[in-house]
Structure 1
């Protein structure tokens, strides 16, 4: 089943997708509330919605499928890391520590945008980039889960675009903390949340989802990869996120950017030049993930804000002067 959230006429609704269009949940619950109710209850509500009228998808504004309480983004594709460290990092290649455990950072849940929303260039950035990913949505609370247990905690999947200001990110990473403002301006989720059972036919013999991923800019294909090229399956990512702590129903975990042109920075690192060029206002980025759907966002000008003030030189006094 495919759950969606949309806005029409100033009214936000949650529902399910069919060939006829979008069907609203009769009792008005949100997708997050359905996820927290558990998959059986969510499917029951979805089936009830399918008995009601449908509205055409093109007549509404698709919002992120759910209002995620937390968003973690992993870096699970070795090929992506190889290219990006040459562009954004120190150029030393994939560090041995990457292979030891999946790494993630928390990104901004308030910056989620819908499948067809415009995306503004972050203030002060001249090097906007996309990142083609898939996200898993946790369906049940759990702590210190094994990968086997974690599979039972998967609700579903959605397409994830981690928009990145590479020039801001490059500066931040030199402080050995972050990313921060280089990453928190926008994250696209959508077009809908596909329940895990729909994607089981794509699972390969190693337990990975072998979905085709593609990204194009202004109609020109830039990257293509298979989701099964992840270094860890999603169950391992959930298990690691829950290690010594909790994951909750509705939490979103990104796969990290795929390889083979899943972002521009990877190509910049391999080419040793900014080619293809950074995204500019007017550019349209389209991502399609097999079995899930397509998101399409147009880049628009951002806010023109004053420059950030540098740190003030300070004495290292340990006592107050009179």
Structure 2
């Protein structure tokens, strides 16, 4: 399975292609933002040129979050019926979610800037002022500056359900904080995923060695297509360094479940990849992002 990755080797951060346990650098591409700043044809050509580069075993490099520079991560809400049902259950303003689910315009919101994103093995977190925090396993589309889908990755859109449920205007606080956005390190090329509308998504939360929560869904249950969501994302603004757009969750635990520090969250998206994160302290999540603050 081929993935485009960011990685550190010998103190240098590169963009490369991971395939068969080895990474090959993408020639003349310094950053992922630079790659996503191209049109799809040019970006694909650059990726395919890596085949002629020398390979480095993946266990000799450090895989990094798949975004950098000015690339933003956005997210979609209430794109699955299960998500609508859960939001209605938790919210004191219930009608707003059923209306969004049925509306022509989707709910889209900024989730994270690149330097705050954590990746596989790094800590996600629970806000200390939240009583109900859950993982939200999602397929994420990686979009070029020309609004073309370059690839897909795995996202955990960690969310404080009780804060959002108290008032929909609290959504930024429920959704955007240190350790709330995790992306798998690899981007699966779009040209190798024939049908993103038919992918299985699974999540498992392990606590003290036992399964505390697990669930499954499929992107076939999404009310909106990836192209539709991308069209709304780019309708009124530009993304010169591309963007990542998470497409919403169809797996929501009951309200009596919340993540706890020490849990481990595993997300898998068929044909795309996997993502595993421990639930750490807010301070640990802050530190993970702070290591990547732009100079």
1:22 and 2:23 are equivalent in the alignment? yes
Q: The residue matched to 1:257 in structure 2 has which SS? A: coil
1:116 and 2:121 are equivalent in the alignment? yes
Write out per-residue CA displacement over residues 148-207 of structure 1, whole angstroms, 9 at most, x where no aligned residue.
xxxxx2111111111112333334xx2x4241122112211123111211111xx2xxxx
Runs of 5+ unmatched residues, structure 1: 143-152, 269-273, 305-322
**1:74: which partner in 2?**
76
TM-score normalised by the chain length of structure 1: 0.76
**1:307: which partner in 2?**
none
Runs of 5+ unmatched residues, structure 2: 285-295
Q: The residue matched to 2:271 in structure 1 has which SS? A: coil
Task: Tell me which of 165, 169, 186 is aligned to 2:164.
Answer: 169
8 Å CA contact 1:199–1:209 kept in 2: the answer is no
Q: The residue matched to 1:177 in structure 2 has which SS? A: helix
Paired residues in the alignment total: 273
**1:252: which partner in 2?**
244
**2:49: which partner in 1?**
48
- Residue correspondence of structure 1 range 190-209 to structure 2 within 5 A: 190-200=184-194, 203=195, 209=197
Tell me how large the CA RMSD over aligned residues is: 2.5
- Residue correspondence of structure 1 range 1-322 to structure 2 within 5 A: 1-8=2-9, 10-67=11-68, 69-75=71-77, 76-91=79-94, 94-101=97-104, 102-109=106-113, 110-141=115-146, 153-171=148-166, 174=167, 176-185=168-177, 186-200=180-194, 203=195, 209-218=197-206, 220=211, 222-248=214-240, 250-258=242-250, 262-264=251-253, 267-268=254-255, 274=256, 277-303=257-283
Q: The residue matched to 1:179 in structure 2 has which SS? A: helix
8 Å CA contact 2:74–2:108 kept in 1: the answer is yes
8 Å CA contact 1:78–1:231 kept in 2: the answer is yes
Based on CA coordinates, which of the two structures has the bigger radius of gyration?
Answer: 1
Q: The residue matched to 1:17 in structure 2 has which SS? A: strand
**Residues in 2 aligned to 1:239 and 1:45: alpha-carbon distance in whole angstroms:** 25
Cα 1:58–1:227 change in 2 (3 A) is farther
